[in-house]
Every structure is written in C-alpha cells, then in structure tokens.
Amino acid sequence: MSAPLPDIRTAPAQVQAEAAALRAALDAQIPPKRDIDRNLLLATWNICQFASLSDGWEETGGSPVRNWRGLHAIAEIVSRFDVIAVQEIKGDLRALRTLMKTLGPEWGFLATDVNRGDRGNDERMGFLFDHARARLSGLAGELTIPLEGLEDSPLRAFARAPYAVSFQAGAQTFILAVCHVFYGDDGPVALEERRREIDAFARWMADWAETTNRWHQDLLVLGDFNIDRMGDPLYEAFVSRGLRAPEALHAVPRTIFQKPSFYDQVAWFESGDGARGLTMELLSAGGFDFRPHVYADPPMPSRSLAARISDHFPLWVEFRAAG
C-alpha cells in the first residue's frame, strides 16, 4: 500500500526552500479556487513516464530517479486545479497512488487500463479531481473509431484510446475528453499516422458536440496531440472540424526543451459553430513553467529534469461556472 509523502518539514533545508518558492510562484501565476463567483480550473499535463518512485528526498543515483522531492513538486502543482487530465501514467501505479494519498481524501481519480502493444507504450490516461470542487456525473469511457464512414482511411484504431469523463461543478456539467496522439518519429509515415489519429479524434468530437449540446453539457478536449506548430498539417487536422484553442494559449511554451512545439492543447467548439459552443465564460488561460522553481540551484539539465518532474508543462484554463 502506498503511503502519503512525508511532511515537507522533514525535508532538507534546500528542498523546503524550493517548496516555498514553488508555492509562491503558483500563487502568483495560477488563479485561486473561488466559491463565491465560482470559477472552474481545468488543466492537462503529460507527466513524463509517471510510474514508480524512490524513497527519500536526496539524490541516490538509484532507479527510478523520481523521488519524494519531485513528487512533492508535482503534487503542489496538481493541487491548484479542480480537474486535471494526465497523460503517460504507466502500468506501475506507485507514483500515482502516492500522489493521491498526498493530495488527501478530497481527491479522486479515474484512469484507463494500460494500452497494450508497442504503440501503446504501456500508458494510461486519467483524470485527477478535487471532490470539494468537482464530482463525477455519470459518464466514463474510452473512444473507439467506428468503421462506418472511414472506409477510405487505413486508420482502424487509436494507438492510445482517448478517454472521456463527465463532471459536475456546482450547477455546471461538462465532459472532458483526453487524448495522447501516437508520436513515432519525425518521418513521413509517422507524421501521416499522427495526422490520421488527430483527424479521427476531431471527427469524433464534432459529432459528439452536436449531441451533447442538446443536453446542455459543455464538451472540451485536452491532452498531448503531438502537433509541431500552428499551421502545419497536424494542426489543420485538429481544427478542421471546428475545434479551437484560446488565443491566450497560442504562445505558451509546451515543453522544457528549446524546440518550439504546439503539442499540448485545451480546446472546444466555439459558439456560433452550428449548435455547438460552451456555456461557460473563459476568464483566463496559461501554462506553468516550473523550471525556475525546482532543481534550479544549480539548474538541472533538461533530460534529467524530465525524469524527475516532466518534459511537458501543465496547460490550464479558468472558466466562470454556474453556481
């Protein structure tokens, strides 16, 4: 059985100082949770190879390299949101279960089983949510590609089946669909496979949005779509059915590496696009660059930081929700 992380006050002084600086940065950059004039904070985060965990605050040179220090930082970031979609949860659930115990009994999660086969990479997807702010409202399931209407496409299955769950926050109901598109390599065959997955997912969401709107439920998509940049064929497939990400996220960095990317997305169908559109009002949106606040003295190389925290930044949106 996983236990919660030890109290941060038991950590070495440097780790305690780091934790305090991280909290201050999150306070400054992410809106607080409000009950009066209720807001809703949704996020997506690809947490690199989120699997096992080493005991201890200090570096030991053992495996895995993610230990209490890194997981404490992850917990502090996750705690700022009402619902967060997480990608790259692996078959080994120790880090996830320790994270949930550390967040406390007010937090819950739902996750898929691991995706089998080499293309699935032993990965799960899931949602972590703050029971005090959002609760399950009944729907959960993996999305599959219907063969009807896709006879001209060689794509017959997602490498990692997208996952959708419905929630209620106050009087607001909404469905979140998380996706982690197959990457492969940078060659033309893998790029075309990515494009087909994105196109199939966008089609699925467009058809579903027409139905969910009749029941006054908002539909949003989140996750890692492995889109290199705005305007490329992958991005065009993503937006081809009407999905739109807020402009506030367009220039937000997605990863800790220097290479620009547009991998991670939070998007929805805009009002006026047929019968679709959100009932919630967007208040703000952004990402969180944790690099200045964790393993920063001295700065840790990017690949080492990825193994301890992640290679992706969390991406978030804030809505005004019905009370």
- Residues 250, 254, 256: CA angle, nearest 5 degrees: 145
What does the pLDDT look like over 165-176, one tens digit per residue? Answer: 999 999 999 999
Strand partners, 166: 175
DSSP string, 211-278: HHHHTT-EEEEEEE----STTSHHHHHHHTTSEE--GGGTTS--BSSSS----EEEEEEPTTSTT---
Pairwise CA distance, residues 180 & 300, whole Å:
27
Structure token pair of residue 213: 């709107």
Q: What is the pLDDT of residue 36?
A: 83
Residue 149: is its pLDDT beyond 60? no
Domains in the chain, CATH or no CATH each = 8-32+39-320 (3.60.10.10)
What does the pLDDT look like over 72-110, one tens digit per residue? Answer: 999 999 999 999 999 999 999 999 999 999 999 999 999
Q: In this structure, how many other beta carbons lie within 10 angstroms of the beta carbon of residue 191? A: 18
Burial class of 111 by CB neighbour count within 10 A (0 to 12, 13 to 18, 19+): middle
Q: Which pLDDT band, with edges at 50, 70 and 90, does 308 fall under?
A: very high
Determine the average pLDDT of the residues in 64-79: 98
Q: What is the pLDDT of residue 155?
A: 60
Q: Which pLDDT band, with edges at 50, 70 and 90, does 154 fall under?
A: low
Determine the average pLDDT of the residues in 251-271: 91
Q: What is the pLDDT of residue 216?
A: 62
Q: Which distant-in-sequence residues (6+ apart) come within 8 Å of 200 by Cβ? A: 145, 150, 153, 155, 158
Pairwise CA distance, residues 246 & 239, whole Å:
12
Across the chain, which distance is largest between two alpha carbons, in Å?
Answer: 61
Q: Which pLDDT band, with edges at 50, 70 and 90, does 273 fall under?
A: very low
Q: Which pLDDT band, with edges at 50, 70 and 90, does 224 fall under?
A: very high
Q: What is the pLDDT of residue 219?
A: 93
Q: Tell me, yes or no, if the pTM score tops 0.85.
A: yes
For residue 67, give the DSSP letter: B
Determine the average pLDDT of the residues in 154-160: 74
Residue 148 identity: E
